[in-house]
Chains A and B, each alone.
Chain A
Amino acid sequence: MRFAVLADIHANRQACEACLRHAEGQAVDRYVFLGDLVGYGADPDWVVRMVRARLADPAAPALVVRGNHDEAVGRGDTAGMTGHAAAAALWHHQRLSAEDRAFLAGLPLEVEAEGVHFVHADPADPARWTYVTDAEIARASLEGGHAWLTLCGHVHAPMLYGLTATAKLAAFRPAPGVAVPLLRARRWLAVMGSVGQPRDGDPAACYAVLDTAAAECTWHRVPYDAAAAAAGIRAAGLPERLASRLLEGR
Chain B
Amino acid sequence: MALPRLAPGTVLDGFVLGPLLHRGGMAALHEASHPDHPDTPLLIKIPRMQEGEDPAAIVSFEMELMILPRLSGPHVPRFVAACGFEAQPYLVMERIPGESLRPLLEALPRPPEEVAALGAQVARALDALHRQHVVHLDIKPSNILRRPDGRVVLVDFGLSRHDLLPDLMAEEFRLPYGTAPYMAPEQVMGLRGDPRSDLFALGVLMYFFVTGERPFGDPQRLSGLKRRLWRDPHPPRALRPDCPPWLQEIILRCLEVDPERRHPSAAQLAFDLAHPAQVPLTPRAGRAGRDGWAAVTRRRFNPEARPVFRLPGAARQQSLAPILAVALDVAEEESHQGALRAAVERILATLPGARLACLHVLRQNLVTPDSGLDSEGRNRHAVSLARLKHWAAPLGLPEERVTYHVLEAVSVAAALLEYVTVNPVDHIVLGARTPSLRRRWLGSVSAELAEKAPCSVSVVRPRRTGPEEEN
Q: Which residues on A are within 8 Å of B, measured CB to CB?
A: 160, 162, 164-166, 168-170, 172, 175, 178, 180-181, 183-186
In the bound complex, CA of A172 to CA of B164 (Å): 9
Contact A181 B66, CB 8 Å, known A164-B171, A165-B85, A170-B168: yes
> B30-56 toward A: CB 8 Å interface, digit per residue (1/0)?
000000000000000000000000011
Q: Which residues on B are within 8 Å of A, measured CB to CB?
A: 55-56, 58-59, 62, 65-66, 69, 84-86, 164-168, 170-172
Specify which chain B residues have a CB less than 8 angstroms from the CB of A169 in the assembled complex.
171
In the complex formed, the residue of B with least CB distance to A148 is B86
In the bound complex, CA of A201 to CA of B170 (Å): 26
CB-based contact B58/A165 at 8 Å: yes
CB-based contact B168/A162 at 8 Å: yes
In the bound complex, CA of A86 to CA of B168 (Å): 41
In the complex formed, the residue of A with least CB distance to B166 is A172
CB-based contact B59/A165 at 8 Å: yes
Contact A166 B86, CB 8 Å, known A160-B166, A183-B66: no
Distance in angstroms from A180 CB to nearest chain B CB is 6
Specify which chain B residues have a CB less than 8 angstroms from the CB of A180 in the assembled complex.
165-166
Specify which chain A residues have a CB less than 8 angstroms from the CB of B171 in the assembled complex.
164, 166, 168-170
In the bound complex, CA of A162 to CA of B165 (Å): 12
The 25 sampled A-B contact pairs (Cβ below 8 Å) are A162-B168, A164-B59, A164-B168, A164-B171, A164-B172, A165-B55, A165-B62, A165-B168, A166-B58, A166-B59, A166-B171, A168-B168, A175-B164, A180-B166, A181-B66, A181-B69, A183-B62, A183-B65, A184-B84, A184-B86, A185-B62, A185-B84, A185-B85, A185-B86, A186-B62
Specify which chain B residues have a CB less than 8 angstroms from the CB of A166 in the assembled complex.
55-56, 58-59, 171-172
In the bound complex, CA of A184 to CA of B86 (Å): 6
Beyond A164-B168, A170-B167, A181-B66, 7 additional contacts (C-beta under 8 Å) are: A165-B62, A166-B171, A172-B165, A181-B69, A183-B66, A183-B84, A185-B86
In the bound complex, CA of A162 to CA of B59 (Å): 12
In the bound complex, CA of A185 to CA of B168 (Å): 13
In the bound complex, CA of A132 to CA of B59 (Å): 25
CB-based contact A168/B65 at 8 Å: no
In the complex formed, the residue of B with least CB distance to A165 is B58
Specify which chain B residues have a CB less than 8 angstroms from the CB of A162 in the assembled complex.
166, 168
In the bound complex, CA of A178 to CA of B166 (Å): 12
Specify which chain B residues have a CB less than 8 angstroms from the CB of A165 in the assembled complex.
55, 58-59, 62, 85, 168
CB-based contact A181/B172 at 8 Å: no
Say whether chain B's binding surface is mostly helix, strand, loop, or mixed. Answer: helix
Specify which chain A residues have a CB less than 8 angstroms from the CB of B172 in the assembled complex.
164, 166, 168
In the bound complex, CA of A168 to CA of B65 (Å): 18
In the complex formed, the residue of B with least CB distance to A185 is B85
Distance in angstroms from B192 CB to nearest chain A CB is 12
Specify which chain A residues have a CB less than 8 angstroms from the CB of B69 in the assembled complex.
181
In the complex formed, the residue of A with least CB distance to B57 is A165
In the bound complex, CA of A169 to CA of B170 (Å): 10
In the bound complex, CA of A169 to CA of B58 (Å): 15
In the bound complex, CA of A154 to CA of B457 (Å): 46
Specify which chain A residues have a CB less than 8 angstroms from the CB of B65 in the assembled complex.
181, 183
CB-based contact A170/B85 at 8 Å: no
In the bound complex, CA of A160 to CA of B170 (Å): 15
In the bound complex, CA of A160 to CA of B66 (Å): 15
Distance in angstroms from B186 CB to nearest chain A CB is 21
Q: Which of B62, B69, B84, B166 is packed against the most chain A CB atoms within 10 Å?
A: B166
In the complex formed, the residue of B with least CB distance to A186 is B62
In the complex formed, the residue of B with least CB distance to A172 is B166
Contact of B164 among A178, A183, A184, A185 (CB under 8 A): A178
Specify which chain A residues have a CB less than 8 angstroms from the CB of B165 in the assembled complex.
172, 178, 180-181
Task: Report, nearest first, the 4 A-B pairs whose CB atoms are least far apart.
Answer: A185-B85, A168-B171, A172-B166, A165-B58
CB-based contact B166/A170 at 8 Å: yes
In the bound complex, CA of A162 to CA of B166 (Å): 9
In the complex formed, the residue of A with least CB distance to B56 is A166
In the complex formed, the residue of B with least CB distance to A188 is B166
In the complex formed, the residue of B with least CB distance to A169 is B171
Q: Which of B65, B69, B165, B167 is packed against the most chain A CB atoms within 10 Å?
A: B165
Distance in angstroms from B85 CB to nearest chain A CB is 4
Specify which chain B residues have a CB less than 8 angstroms from the CB of A184 in the assembled complex.
84-86
Distance in angstroms from B298 CB to nearest chain A CB is 37
Specify which chain B residues have a CB less than 8 angstroms from the CB of A170 in the assembled complex.
166-168, 170-171
Specify which chain A residues have a CB less than 8 angstroms from the CB of B56 in the assembled complex.
166
Q: Which of A172, A178, A183, A184 is packed against the most chain B CB atoms within 10 Å?
A: A183
Distance in angstroms from B168 CB to nearest chain A CB is 5
Specify which chain A residues have a CB less than 8 angstroms from the CB of B62 in the assembled complex.
164-165, 183, 185-186
Specify which chain B residues have a CB less than 8 angstroms from the CB of A181 in the assembled complex.
65-66, 69, 165
In the bound complex, CA of A186 to CA of B69 (Å): 18
In the bound complex, CA of A113 to CA of B178 (Å): 41
Distance in angstroms from B70 CB to nearest chain A CB is 8
Q: Which of A160, A162, A185, A186 is packed against the most chain B CB atoms within 10 Å?
A: A185
Specify which chain B residues have a CB less than 8 angstroms from the CB of A160 in the assembled complex.
166
Q: Which of A168, A169, A175 is packed against the most chain B CB atoms within 10 Å?
A: A168
In the bound complex, CA of A178 to CA of B315 (Å): 14
Distance in angstroms from B51 CB to nearest chain A CB is 15
Specify which chain B residues have a CB less than 8 angstroms from the CB of A172 in the assembled complex.
165-167
Q: Which of A162, A178, A181 is packed against the most chain B CB atoms within 10 Å?
A: A181
In the bound complex, CA of A175 to CA of B315 (Å): 13
Specify which chain A residues have a CB less than 8 angstroms from the CB of B170 in the assembled complex.
170
In the bound complex, CA of A169 to CA of B166 (Å): 11
In the complex formed, the residue of A with least CB distance to B85 is A185
In the bound complex, CA of A70 to CA of B165 (Å): 34
Distance in angstroms from A66 CB to nearest chain B CB is 30
In the bound complex, CA of A165 to CA of B85 (Å): 9
In the bound complex, CA of A168 to CA of B173 (Å): 11
In the bound complex, CA of A186 to CA of B170 (Å): 16
In the bound complex, CA of A73 to CA of B470 (Å): 69
In the bound complex, CA of A160 to CA of B164 (Å): 12
Specify which chain B residues have a CB less than 8 angstroms from the CB of A186 in the assembled complex.
62
Specify which chain B residues have a CB less than 8 angstroms from the CB of A168 in the assembled complex.
168, 171-172
In the bound complex, CA of A186 to CA of B58 (Å): 11
Distance in angstroms from A83 CB to nearest chain B CB is 38
